[in-house]
């Protein structure tokens, strides 16, 4: 410690939240007895304008070089108090928070004991504060260009949105044509517009936009760097191309599941096809006369192994297993536990198209639960008016398909409403199969260090509130790469991804994490464990020593714990700082 510490302690009543249980004046008096504490007082609300001004003014008046606020959770209030410290001329990292609300007054009823515990918490915070050091948040420049990976509807929409906002976009698609999986669709629900009417204008706009550089037949080879400064290497028709971008939008899409041969007689009996294959027949006008068609929902979805949600956040070790599952999906019986969400509407759409073209056709949809959410309920009614037949089957007894005389197919199933085995003799069976993670998505996730979810889709930073962000700053998700979505939802997510990327690029600079890991080069033996474990790719071992790329480091501390040499420390969470607090948890007097 260079200067003699001068600590100010501000204890908050939080109205009656703290003050109703903890004897706040007693805690203040106690704080005054602690070494190096030169000021202690209380506020009704430290976070009020008045409380914050008090912190600011007291720092100046008492020449404080450490501030401790004993109040609520740093999760919501630390930024506020840090700003107050800054206004008082103090580096914001010389601030420490003691949580005497969530950790004390909210969970204890006995006032005397709670007051004692509050004193312990304050003593620990003061002890830690003595060891704090000022930290700086380095500024990082953000390049105003973006890489969009995947030229399906989501990639196109994201690219056009960014380009319209004035950013340079590199749109990379591995196929020779833009359009992705949507290109195979005939019409879109619920408006029954031709897919081309929606898709083609986007393709044309992307191709002709002066801010978009389209690279088809191109695959990503490597991506290095970090938010604001990614260096991308791609292979286009066997030639290497490179560009630098500030942000990345991953729009690698999803695959359509194909049942393994023999499953539901797929690939064995003529006339058994996937729903998408049926749609292609419709598109090509190959359904030439009225037919009897049975559609079976949830083929390959809502089945298979169910993993508990806590397993979410699988890292790279799982990628290999998931990859073999996806590739094996064409040859194994393993299905997917999730609901693919779009299949009910898709089946109804095709049923309507068939009935409108050939009213004498007989179309039956066999379902488990009909999931025509939102206004799609109308779509369901429309199909029923057209006399599309909806019959339920139960999970335990999946429908069986067999040959029937006269080149026909027999679908047998148990109808729980009738309580009977039923069978339908038909011409065609369409299997509604789910959208599944794409191989490209999983391989790219591995390259970019984006965690995968339990099913192999790319995982969002927070499933509720950050559905577009990934754990890697500057990389965003659009469309079905993150899970099944219909076209409209994909477009919403793509626009949102563009918004998130535009925020970074529009601001031109960001402040990055101050609390990064630091390697003591003298102690480092270059074993590489940190490089292997770092989820953000922030450690690089070169010439037998590890260094940290600060822009990538999130300060998670994994390397700090793992380092066998104790060569790595985390700024603001050094052993000295943590141990100071721990030691003081068990002593009466500050040491």
Q: Which of residues 231-250 bind other proteins (CB under 8 A)?
A: none
Pick from 241, 499, 541, 562 the residue near other proteins by CB under 8 A. 499
Contact 281, 272 (CB under 8 A): no
d(CA 480, CA 499): 18
Q: How far apart are CA 158 and CA 167, in angstroms?
A: 11
Of residues 106 and 315, the one with the C-beta less far from other proteins: 106
Q: Which of residues 332-371 bind other proteins (CB under 8 A)?
A: 337-339, 341, 369-371
Q: What's the DSSP call for residue 440?
A: H
Q: Of the candidates 471, 502, 516, 584, which one interacts with other proteins according to CB under 8 A?
A: 502
The answer to whether 218 and 177 are in contact (CB under 8 A) is no
**Measured between alpha carbons, how far is 409 from 411 in angstroms, rounded to an integer?**
7
CA 187 – CA 487 distance, rounded (Å): 11
- Which CB atom, from 198 or from 570, has the smaller least distance to other proteins? 198
Do 66 and 38 touch, CB atoms closer than 8 A?
Answer: no
- Least separation in angstroms between CB 160 and other proteins: 8
Residue from 67, 326, 487, 559 in contact with other proteins (CB under 8 A)? 487
Looking only at residues 530 through 589 of this chain, which bind other proteins when binding is defined by CB under 8 A? none
Tell me whether residue 299 or residue 534 sits nearer to other proteins (CB atom): 299
Quick one: which of 134, 331, 359, 416 contacts other proteins (CB under 8 A)?
416
CB under 8 Å to 380, separation ≥6 — which residues? 348, 370, 372
Among candidates 455, 238, 209, which has minimal Cα distance to 338? 455
- What is the CB neighbour count within 10 angstroms for residue 292? 18
Strand order in the sheet with 95-99: 37-43, 7-12, 66-71, 95-99
What's the min distance (Å) between Cβ of 278 and other proteins? 21
Residues of this chain, 112-141, that bind other proteins according to CB under 8 A: none
309 exposure class (CB count in 10 Å sphere: 0-12, 13-18, 19+): exposed
User: Which residues within the stretch 137-196 sit at the binding site for other proteins (CB under 8 A)?
Assistant: 161, 164-166, 188, 190-191, 193
Residue 359 or 416 having the CB closest to other proteins: 416
* Among 6, 36, 41, 45, contact with other proteins (rule: CB under 8 A): 45
Q: Which listed residue (174, 446, 495, 572) binds other proteins by CB under 8 A?
A: 495
Judged by CB under 8 A, which of 2, 109, 396, 417 binds other proteins?
A: 417
Letter string b/e over residues 533-547, b meaning 16 or more CB atoms within 10 A of that residue's CB: ebbbbbbebeeeebb
CB-nearer residue toward other proteins: 45 or 573: 45
Q: Does 86 interact with other proteins (rule: CB under 8 A)?
A: no
419 interacts with other proteins by CB under 8 A: yes
Candidate segments 48-56, 117-125, 170-178, 281-289, binder of other proteins by CB under 8 A: 48-56
How far apart CA 245 and CA 226 sit, in angstroms, is 10
User: Helices in 284-341 by DSSP H: which ranges?
Assistant: 317-328
| Residue 307 in contact with other proteins, rule: CB under 8 A | yes
Q: Give Cα separations from 487 to 135, 176, 294, 491 (angstroms).
A: 46, 22, 25, 6
Number of residues near other proteins (by CB under 8 A): 80
Binding residue for other proteins, selected from 58, 350, 364, 493, defined by CB under 8 A? 493
- Nearest residue to 246 via CA among 535, 490, 531, 500: 500
Q: Taking the chain, what is the end-to-end CA distance rounded to the nearest angstrom?
A: 14
57, 378, 387, 575: which one binds other proteins (CB under 8 A): 378
Of 12-20, 63-71, 316-324, 356-364: span binding other proteins (CB under 8 A): 12-20
Secondary structure letter of residue 469 according to DSSP: B
C-beta of 499 vs 527, nearer to other proteins: 499
Name which of residues 457 to 486 contact other proteins (CB under 8 A): 457, 460, 462-468, 482-483
Contact mark string toward other proteins, 383..412, x via CB under 8 A: -----------x------------------
Alpha helices in 332-401 (DSSP H): 343-357, 376-385
Cβ partners under 8 Å of residue 208, min gap 6: none
CB 148 to other proteins: min, Å: 13
The region of 31-39, 346-354, 415-423, 530-538 touching other proteins under the rule CB under 8 A is: 415-423
Closer by beta carbon to other proteins, 369 or else 575: 369
Q: How far is the CB of 370 from other proteins (least distance, A)?
A: 5
Residues 6 or more apart whose CB falls under 8 angstroms from that of 253 comprise 150, 152, 154, 155, 180, 181, 438, 440, 441, 479, 480, 481
* One residue of 363, 497, 548, 581 binding other proteins per CB under 8 A: 497
Instruction: Count other C-beta atoms under 10 Å from residue 455's C-beta.
Output: 21
Instruction: Provide, rounded to whole angstroms, the least separation between the CB of residue 462 and other proteins.
Output: 8
Sole window of 91-99, 349-357, 377-385, 564-572 interacting with other proteins (rule: CB under 8 A): 377-385
Answer yes or no whether residue 491 interacts with other proteins by CB under 8 A: yes
CA distance 486 to 376: 12
Q: Give the interface segment with other proteins, choosing from 118-126, 224-232, 240-248, 303-311 (CB under 8 A).
A: 303-311
Beta strands in 22-103 (DSSP E): 37-43, 66-71, 95-99
**15 lies in the binding site for other proteins (CB under 8 A):** yes
């Amino acid at each position: 410690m260079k200067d003699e510490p001068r600590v100010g302690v501000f204890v908050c009543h939080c109205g009656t939240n703290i003050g109703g249980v903890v004897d706040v004046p007693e805690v203040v008096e106690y704080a005054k007895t602690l070494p190096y504490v030169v000021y202690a007082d209380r506020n009704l609300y430290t976070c009020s304008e008045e409380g914050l001004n008090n912190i600011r003014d007291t720092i100046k008046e008492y020449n404080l070089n450490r501030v401790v606020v004993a109040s609520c959770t740093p999760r919501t209030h630390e930024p506020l108090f840090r700003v107050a410290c800054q206004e008082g001329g103090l580096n914001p990292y010389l601030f420490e928070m003691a949580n005497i609300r969530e950790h004390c007054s909210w969970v204890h009823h006995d006032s005397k004991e709670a007051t004692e515990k509050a004193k312990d918490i304050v003593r620990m915070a003061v002890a830690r504060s003595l060891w704090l050091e000022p930290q700086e948040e380095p500024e990082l420049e953000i390049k105003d260009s973006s890489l969009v990976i995947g030229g399906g509807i989501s990639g196109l929409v994201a690219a056009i949105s960014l380009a319209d906002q004035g950013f340079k976009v590199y749109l990379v698609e591995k196929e020779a044509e833009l359009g992705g999986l949507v290109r195979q669709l005939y019409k879109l629900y619920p408006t029954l517009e031709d897919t081309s009417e929606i898709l083609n204008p986007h393709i044309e706009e992307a191709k002709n936009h002066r801010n978009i550089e389209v690279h088809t037949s191109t695959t990503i080879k490597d991506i290095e760097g970090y938010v604001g400064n990614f260096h991308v290497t791609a292979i286009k028709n066997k030639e290497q191309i490179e560009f630098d971008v500030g942000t990345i939008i991953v729009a690698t899409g999803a695959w359509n599941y194909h049942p393994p041969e023999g499953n539901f007689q797929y690939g064995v009996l003529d006339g058994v096809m996937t729903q998408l294959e049926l749609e292609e027949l419709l598109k090509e006008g190959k359904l030439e006369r009225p037919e009897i068609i049975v559609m079976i929902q949830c083929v390959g979805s809502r089945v298979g192994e169910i993993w508990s949600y806590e397993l979410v956040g699988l890292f790279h070790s799982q990628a290999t297993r998931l990859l073999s599952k996806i590739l094996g999906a064409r040859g194994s019986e393993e299905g997917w536990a999730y609901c693919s969400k779009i299949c009910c509407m898709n089946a109804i759409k095709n049923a309507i198209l068939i009935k409108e073209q050939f009213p004498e056709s007989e179309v039956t949809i066999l379902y488990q639960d009909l999931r025509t959410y939102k206004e799609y309920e109308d779509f369901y009614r429309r199909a029923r008016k057209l006399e599309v037949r909806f019959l339920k089957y139960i999970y335990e007894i999946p429908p069986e398909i067999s040959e029937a005389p006269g080149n026909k197919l027999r679908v047998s199933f148990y109808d729980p409403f009738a309580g009977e085995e039923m069978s339908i003799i038909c011409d065609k069976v369409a299997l509604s199969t789910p959208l599944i993670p794409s191989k490209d998505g999983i391989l790219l996730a591995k390259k970019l260090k984006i965690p995968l979810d339990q099913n192999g889709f790319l995982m969002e930073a927070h499933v509720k509130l950050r559905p577009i962000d990934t754990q890697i700053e500057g990389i965003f998700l659009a469309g079905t790469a993150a899970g099944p979505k219909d076209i409209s939802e994909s477009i919403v997510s793509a626009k949102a991804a563009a918004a998130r990327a535009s925020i970074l690029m529009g601001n031109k600079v960001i402040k990055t994490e101050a609390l990064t890991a630091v390697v003591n080069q003298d102690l480092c033996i270059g074993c590489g464990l940190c490089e292997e474990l770092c989820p953000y790719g922030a450690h690089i071992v070169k010439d037998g020593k590890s260094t940290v790329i600060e822009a990538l480091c999130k300060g998670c501390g994994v390397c700090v714990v793992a380092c066998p040499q104790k060569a790595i420390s985390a700024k603001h969470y050094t052993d000295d700082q943590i141990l100071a607090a721990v030691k003081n948890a068990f002593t009466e007097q500050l040491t």
